[in-house]
Structure 1
Amino acid sequence: MTNQDFYGNKNFQLSLQKVENSCPSNIALIKYWGKYDNQIPANPSISFTLNHCKTRTEIEFKPNEIFSVKTLLAGKEEKNFATKIEKYFNNIEVYLPWILKGSFKIHTENTFPHSSGIASSASGFGAIAKCLMDLDNIFTNNGHPTTNHQKASFLARLGSGSACRSLFNGLVVWGKTDEIEGSSDLFAVKFPETEIHPVFKNFKDWVLLIHEGEKSVSSTIGHGLMKNNPYAETRFQEAKDNFLPMKTILKSGNLKEFITLVEHEALTLHAMMMMSDPAFILMKTGTLEVINKVWTFRKERNLPLFFTLDAGANVHLLFPNDNNSPEIEKFIEDELLQFTQKGGIVKDEMKF
């Protein structure tokens, strides 16, 4: 499919409307880090969609008013976010031709702490895209619901790249790869559930809040730094190559190989930032302490606790939800919470 396949219906009838929707966040296993113009990924990625960490959004649209956007995050007006959304709406007018023909009031709130290492831009733009598709159905489809998840994912991507993966449950792929039929740079697709071993369908993700302040570098800047990174092309090719072993691992249920690949991907993302110009070290002392503790625990007790990281200091602790869970959870609470900034932890699980 091409961008033209998502062009909007120019026959519409506007009316005052209020819609609401929610969207979860996701955590990448093979990382997307580096992009081209129009939010095209430099390499394919695959993620787990979370269950409890969501953004809930309500959009009120008033037609025939001067185009404007007012945003409230947990009841507090956020003018910088409104400016960002205005720019986003201007960029997607060709796909939703009605979008600049009125004013918007957007109420949004997260079920998880801000700056928690959970991708609020993914869940946030995912929720907005779902609301926009609800409005589009009302204005151009006489209110009849559609299940155009592809277009919702396409629109979410243009707001935040990783947001396109949040439109689907389970394991989700974004970026063209020969290993996944129907995969695209323009929208995300579900990884075939028939190709996933049962062990990967019931996973927990506990996020240790090592640092609760703003990240030292935004994801936008981080992606931009890949343009001049001398190791970027090697990294992009590695991520592409990792899809074949990941596909094999997911079908076989080989947890040991899964752990090795997921942790390698996380550390590679941080290595890219350390080798950028300027260089950034996104981990904190607590991050390294947790990683070493996890490695020791796994070696001594032979239990499948492992980690992944986004572009920040906080640690996503992953483990199967099975008979070993109580022992792993006790270890996390007894031994790892001490490395968080304020004892903060977000307990989630994968949604299938």
Structure 2
Amino acid sequence: MFSENDFIPKKFSQSVETGKFEWSSPSNIALVKYWGKKEGVGQQIPANPSISFTLNNCKTITTLAFARKQSQDGFSFELLFEGKPKEDFKPKIQQFFERVLVYLPFLKEYHFVIDTQNTFPHSSGIASSASGMAALSMNLMSLEKALNPNMTEDYFYQKASFLARLGSGSACRSVKGEVVVWGNHDNVKGSTDLYGVEFSHRIHENFKNFQDTILLVDKGEKQVSSSVGHNLMHNHPFAERRFEQAHENLDKLSKVLQDGNLDEFIAIVESEALTLHAMMMTSLPYFILMKPNTLEIINKIWKFRNETKTPVCFTLDAGANVHILYPETAKEAVSQLIKTELVGYCQNGHYICDQIGIGSIENKNN
């Protein structure tokens, strides 16, 4: 296990003048939810552990081109989104560079051109901060590895996850692995608040190629950002019990992922989703991110599951969209449900079919 100090490089053995890397990093969907941060501005330390499925199709592809510059008195970068300048993204990257400079001291030595694109529509209501920050972190680690070729693979991936976390907390779960745990937990080997770790146990066949169809209920910007929502947990009347519950549910889910009990999986995952939104509705100020169509979809899923005994469930992120989770064996039945009963609740009839993936991938042919 690495500490923060382990990620501060001592000295680089090589010199690199120019180059380019390209990585794609996926989004992820938490099964046990991360909601609430420990005190400490900019540190992105979770108040409770979380566990997520890494997705496959919803991803960000980022190219990082770099060239050494004369002056080292500040950060120098251009930011492109789908090939066009994107000025409103720059403050977030500037803040990220400031946070990680101590771990990537070469950042002021280069001019960077960051060109990023998503495989899902930018206005779809799917958060791209996790996949975007993970992809950028993978590229920056590729540059560090060029400067220090003796770096181990473990160090490479764990530091990439560590850096991604400092950009967007859940981004640390988009680096590597089908199932990722982030946050200290007594019964998860190697777990830490500093970066995500791959679930260390064998995952039951029931969860191989597990499907996630994302129903796009509301593509608009949330009226309350996740950052604000996290901060509202500091004085929340139910916060401490919620954090304990997350530990308990992670224990239960760890067992379920190994033994394949789909009924128990459904109970934990749906409870976690509703608990997340219950925390929002009971904070001060309180807020609701679900929409009427979110509730319509949930009730349709419950009715369908009750009538057909199909092992399908929902989860939610911090928004109105619904993730429908189900094993590959139920794909035909759930697809029919979506087309005949649920698509009408989606904005413009839009939904995205996805499944469990393996994490970030480097494109070496850019």
Q: TM-score range by the shorter chain?
A: over 0.9
Taking a change above 3 Å as real, the CA distance of residues 233 and 115 of structure 1, as seen in their structure-2 partners, is: farther
Q: For residues 65-84 of structure 1, what are the structure 2 equivalents within 5 Å? A: 65=70, 67-84=75-92
For residues 186 and 117 of structure 1, what CA distance do their matches in structure 2 show? 27
Quote the Cα distance in structure 2 between the aligned partners of 1:69 and 1:312.
31
Superposed CA offset, 1:316-341 (max 9, x none): 0111001x321111011110000011
Distance of aligned partners of 1:345 and 1:46 in 2 relative to their CA distance in 1, 3 Å threshold: same
Give the corresponding residue for 2:32: 30
**Deviates most, 26-35 or 67-76:** 67-76
Corresponding residue SS for 2:348: coil
The answer to whether the 8 Å contact 2:189/2:200 transfers is no
Equivalent position SS for 1:292: helix
Deviation at residue 115 of structure 1 after TM alignment: 4.2
Check the 8 A contact 2:19/2:67 in 1, yes or no: yes
Aligned to 2:60: 55
Question: How far off its partner does 1:293 sit?
Answer: 0.5
How many residues end up aligned between the 2 structures? 349
Residue 315 of structure 2: which of 308, 311, 330 is its match? 308
Matching of residue 345 in structure 1 with residue 347 in structure 2? no
The corresponding residue for 2:263 is 256
Amino acid at match of 2:273: A
Match of 2:362 in 1: none
CA drift of 1:221 comes to 1.1
* Alignment pair present for 1:10 and 2:17: no
> What do residues 273-309 of structure 1 show as CA deviations (whole Å, max 9, x unaligned)?
1111111110011101000100111111111111000
- 1:137-152 aligned at under 5 Å gives the runs 137-141=145-149, 146=153, 148-152=156-160
Query: How far has the Cα of 1:65 moved from its partner?
Result: 4.6
Query: In structure 1, what is the Cα distance between the partners aligned to 2:200 and 2:206?
Result: 15
Counterpart code for 2:29: I
Q: Say whether 1:287 aligns with 2:289.
A: no
Contact 2:201 2:258 in 1 (8 A): no
- Measured after TM superposition, the shift of residue 112 of structure 1 is 0.7
| Partner amino acid, structure 2, of 1:42 | A
- Which moves more between the two structures, 70-79 or 18-27? 70-79
Residue 137 of structure 1 contacts residue 145 of structure 1 at CA under 8 Å; is this kept in 2? no
**Alpha-carbon separation, structure 1, partners of 2:184 and 2:22:** 31
Question: Residue 90 of structure 1 is aligned with which of 98, 102, 126?
Answer: 98
Structure 1 residues 65 and 81: CA distance shift in structure 2, 3 A: farther
User: For residues 231 and 258 of structure 1, what CA distance do their matches in structure 2 show?
Assistant: 24
Distance in 1 between the 2:274 and 2:223 partners? 17
Within 5 A, what are the aligned runs for 1:226-265? 226-265=233-272
**How far, CA to CA, are the matches of 1:9 and 1:116 in structure 2?**
42
1:236-274, Cα deviation, whole Å (9 max, x unpaired): 111011122112211211101100100000011111111
Q: For the residues of structure 2 that align with 1:126 and 1:234, how far apart are their CA atoms? A: 31
Q: Partner of 2:199 in structure 1? A: 191
Q: Which residue identity does 1:329 align to in structure 2?
A: S
Tell me if 1:319 matches 2:326. yes
Task: Give the secondary-structure state (helix, strand or coil) at the position aligned to 2:15.
Answer: coil
Q: Does 1:332 align with 2:338?
A: yes
CA distance in 2, matches of 1:205, 1:146: 29
Contact 1:65 1:103 in 2 (8 A): no
TM-score, normalised with respect to structure 1: 0.95
Q: Which amino acid aligns with 2:349?
A: G
Out of 122, 134, 137, the residue aligned to residue 126 of structure 1 is 134
Q: 2:163 aligns with which of 155, 158, 161?
A: 155
Does the 8 Å contact 1:58/1:107 carry over to 2? yes
Deviation at 1:193, TM superposition (A): 4.0
User: Would you say the 8 A contact 1:115–1:215 is kept in 2?
Assistant: no
1:145 deviates by 8.2
Note the residue ranges of structure 2 that are not aligned, 5 or more in a row.
359-366
Greater Cα offset, 213-222 or 311-320: 213-222
Distance in 1 separating the partners of 2:63 and 2:223: 30
SS in 2 for 1:227: coil
**% identical equivalent positions:** 52
Q: Does the residue aligned with 1:98 lie in a helix, a strand or coil?
A: helix
State the distance in 2 between where 1:275 and 1:75 align: 42
Q: Aligned partner of 1:190: which letter?
A: E
SS state at 2:347 partner: coil
SS at match of 2:24: strand
CA contact (8 A) 1:9 1:140 kept: no
Q: Deviations over 1:145-168 (max 9, x none)?
A: 845211111111111111111111
**TM-score calculated relative to the size of structure 2:** 0.92
Letter in 1 for 2:333: E
CA drift at 1:8: 1.8
> 225-234 or 176-185: which moved more?
225-234
Letter in 2 for 1:271: A
Once the two structures are TM-superposed, the CA of residue 76 in structure 1 deviates from its matched residue by 2.9
SS at match of 2:57: strand
Task: Tell whether the 8 Å contact from 2:80 to 2:114 is kept in structure 1 after alignment.
Answer: yes
Asked whether the equivalents of residues 125 and 160 of structure 1 are also in contact (C-alpha less than 8 Å), the reply is yes
Give, as a single letter, the amino acid of the residue that structure 1 aligns with 2:47. A
Structure 1 residue runs without a partner (length 5+): none
Structure 1, 75-84 or 228-237: larger mean CA deviation: 75-84
